[in-house]
Amino acid sequence: MSREQESSPDEPDRSSQSTHLGQRITVRLSDSEKWVVESFAKQAGLSVGRFIVAAVQIVAKSRIEQIKGVIASSRRLERDRRRRRRATAASPEPSQIAGTFRCPFTRREDAEGFQRVISRSAKRMGISELSGARYVSFFLEEIAVAVTEGEIVRLPGFGAFGPWHSEKARGVDGNVPRFVAAQPFREHVQWNSMSSQNRNRELQALRRRRRARRSSVLDALETFRMHIRSQNRDAQAAFERWIELDL
């Protein structure tokens, strides 16, 4: 049945003032479906083509309203989330800052993974989060120095860091750092992580990201430790307030 089918000459077309249907498409229907469409079109006083167009418009408007509702709901949730973040950042409680590591240079949502790792490992070691983060900064700094000096740093069961030569790399002689995951690490992720938990998009974005301003990893980690010292002073001040309040 073709959409271009119009009403008979004896039957006036109520949509005669609308746009002329000059484009042709073919719709394949069973006999019963064809009878239903023609019957509804006749009851509406429309040609089959006009009836199909009207039905499509009704469905499209309904879907658009649904999408608008979802977008509005998402925006409300995002506004509420931002308000909560501002409220938390504006007036932190002593219990929220005392000894708690907050990763500098990174957006709050991007820092959650690193902060969670620091928190869990520090708890297992029985040390403060700030001490754990400070040690990690020295650990990473020494890896960077060793790789720069042409060494491979192997972490048993985890992986290895080393210098990788690439003709496309910038710098003195085209070396870039590379990490190779060890088989136990790979198998742990492969057998314990669902495909829905992938972060392909974020990781690809990190690979493409280029900073306009050059900086040294050693300077970055030293600045990182300066922020930790500042957080430690905040923790000490909070502890002193607890003493003053006899808590």
Domain ranges of the chain: 1-91, 129-244
Q: What local confidence, expressed as pLDDT, does residue 54 receive?
A: 85
Regarding predicted confidence, which is higher, 162 or 92?
162
Q: What local confidence, expressed as pLDDT, does residue 6 receive?
A: 44
Q: How far is CA 104 from CA 81, 127, 227, in A?
A: 21, 20, 7
184-219 pLDDT, tens digit per residue, is: 999 999 999 998 989 899 888 888 776 666 778 888
Closest CA to 105 of 204, 201, 213: 213
β-bridge mates for residue 155, sequence order:
159
* Mean pLDDT of the region 206-233: 81
| Ramachandran bin of 218, using left for φ above 0, alpha for ψ from -120 to 50, beta for the remaining angles | alpha
Pairing mode, strands 159-165 and 175-181: antiparallel
CA angle centred on 139, ends 160 and 191, rounded to 5°: 45
Q: What local confidence, expressed as pLDDT, does residue 23 receive?
A: 75
136-155 pLDDT, tens digit per residue, is: 999 999 999 999 999 999 99
170-180 pLDDT, tens digit per residue, is: 777 888 899 99
Band (242; pLDDT cuts 50, 70, 90): low
Q: How far is CA 127 from CA 78, 142, 230, in A?
A: 35, 21, 18
Q: Which of 14-23, 79-88, 97-106 has the lowest mean pLDDT?
A: 14-23
Q: Which of 15-29, 52-66, 70-84, 188-202 has the lowest mean pLDDT?
A: 15-29
Q: Which of 30-39, 108-117, 124-133, 211-220 has the lowest mean pLDDT?
A: 211-220
Q: What local confidence, expressed as pLDDT, does residue 16 receive?
A: 45
Closest CA to 1 of 33, 24, 29: 29
**Mean pLDDT for the chain overall:** 80
| CATH for the stretch 129-244 | 4.10.520
Q: How many CA atoms, within 13 angstroms, populate the side-chain half-sphere of residue 215?
A: 11
Q: What local confidence, expressed as pLDDT, does residue 18 receive?
A: 57
End-to-end Cα distance, the chain: 82
Band (89; pLDDT cuts 50, 70, 90): low
